[in-house]
Amino acid sequence: MVDKDLLSIQEARALVRAARKAQPEFARLSQERVDRVVCAVAEAAASQAESLARMAVDETGFGKPEDKKIKNLLASEKVCARIKDMKTVGVLHADAASKIVEIAVPVGVIAGIVPSTNPTSTVIYKSLIALKSGNAIVFTPHPSAKKCIARTVEIIQGALRACDVAPDLVSSISLPTIEGTNELMKIADLILATGGPGMVKAAYSSGTPALGVGAGNVPAYIERSADVKDAVAKIMSSKTFDNGTICASEQSIVTDACIADQVRAALQEQGGYFLTGEALTKVKTVMERGNGSMNPAIVGRDAVTIAGVAGIEVPPGTRLLISDEKGIGPKYPFSKEKLTALLGFYVVEDWREACEVCTALLHNGGVGPSLSIHSRDEDVIREFGLRKPVSRMLVNTPSTQGAVGISTGLFPSFTLGCGAVGGSATSDNVTPLNLINVRRVAYDLHTPCDFRGQPACTASSACGVSSVPGAAARPCPPSAALSNCCGHAANHDAVVAPQTPAPAPGGNLDINAITELIVAELKKAL
């Protein structure tokens, strides 16, 4: 009898051991060499963007091949373009004024949790940012997407071999189980968690530092000053992109009563079908399983497919199934996250009521990630920006494309931090800089005051006044131009202790020289 859980645990341990062996050598490479590796991996992944997209749809049944191809290209080409000039190796910054040198330190081995809704693009993206920051990464795939994830990892490993670096820098569990995933999360140095609320919660409970994002119940507010047709077109583009499988896609429209009829008409013109009566009841029946979770049979499916599952007829060209909603909570399934072609519709009196409804929707299982607003009233936009419990507010743009960095200047990312309000350690679109620690080397500033702010100089201070009992205090050299809180001159060059690094011309520390010394010592240590 084969114990799959035990095998999965053993595999996780073996992959992490191999990654730990490969990662230190990779971390010693120069920035230039790391960048060449990252670009090679991105090129290899981009060259297979279409085949990986088809494979993902065939295996999972979620989304559209053409949209998953776009995701794969975003994760490879656009991510690479954004990070290629990013400093992630060695000395990141040296500040002559504060006498602080900042050094990048990779975290080590990362555990990458991959969802079935965005499998190949997530692997590409997480691999690139992990490698760019000098780390190794071991993936645990969703069981329903393990074949396309394994193929993506094979492509990446091929690129690593071609670059003469260890393929073990990127690997994936071939027999994923909950126990194997838990073991991986326990023994890794950092977790990058993307998936359902349960998996993300497990990541945060593992005892290992974690960056993650789970559910996102994104409301889209169409305010009375908005260009209604433009707003609806963008929402349609976003919500139907890959059949709504990105957590940043719109889940409900909230709009002012004075333009509600216009919004409704624009939705119908662009393929929105408002469910009523028996049709609505049938769709609600197939939306959820007994435990309240989404029915996987409709996740990532188009509107026509969902209608077929529910046993209803819809007009040709239907793109979204929409329900008028009056309430928010468990009794109202259209008020929650729906990673498919379903949309809730709310009518409010003004932006103040919209504020309340949007906040309630966000707290209904998706606080933290995103909110979108369509408006030409900058005061309203500002109020929403100040009040909403989200990490990104997207203005007059498709929410999906905006949040992941396609239609906005946000970093292209498939891990959208939801901040502390959403239970995440970051509110960022996660980048390579989130995957390094920063070691700060701080030099004495020769401050003549003690830490309590008392006007007492010490023997080690720049002014040379002795603190040794019985020792005679030496007068500080006079200076009218430079003074300090002790009342002594601040020009202490002549009395600095011999072991202190000599200042550069003009009295500033020669950070470049110090940096060279630090790098040399680091190379010796490594």
Q: Which ranges in 84-145 belong to alpha helices (H)?
A: 119-132
Look at phi and psi of residue 464 and say left if phi exceeds 0, alpha if psi is from -120 to 50, else beta: left
Nearest alpha carbon to residue 341 among 244, 196, 229, 203: 244
Element holding 24 (H helix, E strand): helix 4-27
Q: Cβ contacts of residue 6 below 8 Å, gap of 6+?
A: 179
Nearest alpha carbon to residue 396 among 273, 258, 261, 220: 220
Inter-residue long-range contacts of 94-97, CB under 8 Å, 24+ positions, other chains counted: 94/511, 94/512, 94/514, 94/515, 95/511, 96/504, 96/508, 96/509, 96/511, 97/508
- Cα dist from 325 to 139, 245, 366, 451, whole Å: 40, 22, 18, 61
Distance CA 28, CA 434 (A): 19
| Residue 457: active-site member | no
Which candidate in 163, 247, 358, 486 is catalytic?
Answer: 247
CB atoms within 10 A of CB 55: 21
Distance CA 242, CA 244 (A): 6
Q: For residue 179, count CB atoms less than 10 angstroms from its CB and return exposed for 0-12, middle for 13-18, buried for 19 or more.
A: middle
The full DSSP string for 175-217 is S--HHHHHHHHHHSSEEEEES-HHHHHHHHTSSS-EEEE----
- Composition of the chain by helix, strand, coil, percent to 5: 45, 20, 40
Helix (H, G, I), strand (E, B) or coil at 302: coil
Distance CA 45, CA 153 (A): 9
Secondary structure E strands in 127-184: 136-141, 170-172
Catalytic residue numbers? 247
